[in-house]
Amino acid sequence: MRRLFWILFAILTAALFVVIATNGGAIEGLSRIDVSSQALQIALIAIGAAFVLAFVRQRFSRAIEGALTWVVIVALLAIGYTYRFELRDVAERVIAELMPGSAAGRGRVVEIARGGNGNFSLMAQLNGAHINMVLDTGASSVVLTHDAAKAAGLPLEVLAYTVTVDTANGRTRAAPVTLDSVSIGGIVERAVPALIAQRGQLRSNLLGMTFLNRLERWEVRGDKLVLRGYP
């Protein structure tokens, strides 16, 4: 009986190695997992401990069932940890579809789904503050409302409204500023010129060309806005 136990344990352990090592690549090099990693060692110890405990305390058939359950659980955890970045990308894409405006993508490439009103609304970080913005390719600059500028920590008390701009409410004046950082997903641009509209003169924050011109490329593919920053 004990001999059979060790044979089964060896088979299950080897199977775990093969499944993980061959998922997307050859066994040689184990490109996805380093078998000497602490995480994998802990996983193998957990499998062995669960198998021994189940074998000692339960009948043989139930021991096999319990051990196989633990093998599956630990294998899923190991694979999930290994492919955590890919799974995060999948989750971001699902969220982006369900919640238009959420940025999905990896690194310097970001995708944003079109909103129900036909616009591309998105969440950006301006000087670290989360600000809702609307893509406006007709705006020569990033343009912020008074409230957004306050949230971004800009010095409203010393602004000089010297730039004439045209808005949906007519012609008005705006104050030129420089944003320390503008971040959308993994794209981060520094020292971005922007304008601050006078209080009550602008309903939405506009993502204009002073940000878009910093990108390597941006385009609309169907209902997706794709932004690509420089490496």
Angstrom distance (rounded) from CA 201 to CA 89: 38
Average pLDDT over residues 13-23: 54
**Phi/psi of residue 24, nearest 5 degrees:** 95, 10
DSSP string, 193-231: EEEEEPTTS-SSEEE-HHHHTTSSEEEEETTEEEEE---
* CATH class of segment(s) 104-228: mainly beta
pLDDT in tens, 188-204: 999 999 999 998 888 89
Residue 228 has pLDDT above 90, yes or no: yes
Specify the pLDDT at position 29.
40
Specify the pLDDT at position 28.
39
Specify the pLDDT at position 32.
41
Average pLDDT over residues 169-184: 90
- Residue 14 parent element (H or E): helix 2-22
Angstrom distances, CA of residue 210 to CA of 46, 85, 126: 54, 31, 14
The larger pLDDT score, comparing residue 90 to residue 27, is at 90
Contact 209, 137 (CB under 8 A): yes
Q: Which two structure tokens, joined as six digits, stand for 87? A: 């799974």
Specify the pLDDT at position 216.
94
Residue 80 has pLDDT above 90, yes or no: no
pLDDT band at residue 87 using 50, 70 and 90 as cut-offs: low
Residue 125 has pLDDT above 90, yes or no: yes
Specify the pLDDT at position 31.
42
Q: pTM of this prediction?
A: 0.58
Average pLDDT over residues 198-218: 92
Specify the pLDDT at position 35.
44
Domain limits, the chain: 2-82, 104-228
Contact 103, 111 (CB under 8 A): yes
Q: What is the DSSP letter of 81?
A: H
pLDDT in tens, 40-54: 566 566 666 666 655
Mean pLDDT, the chain, rounded, equals 75
pLDDT in tens, 21-70: 544 443 334 444 444 455 556 656 666 666 665 555 555 566 666 667 77
The larger pLDDT score, comparing residue 108 to residue 86, is at 108
Going by C-alpha positions, the residue among 219, 218, 216 that lies closest to residue 230 is 216
Specify the pLDDT at position 185.
85
CA within 13 Å, CB half, 43? 25
Q: Which two structure tokens, joined as six digits, stand for 53? A: 């405990």
Average pLDDT over residues 4-18: 57
Tokens 């040689």 correspond to what residue?
Answer: 28
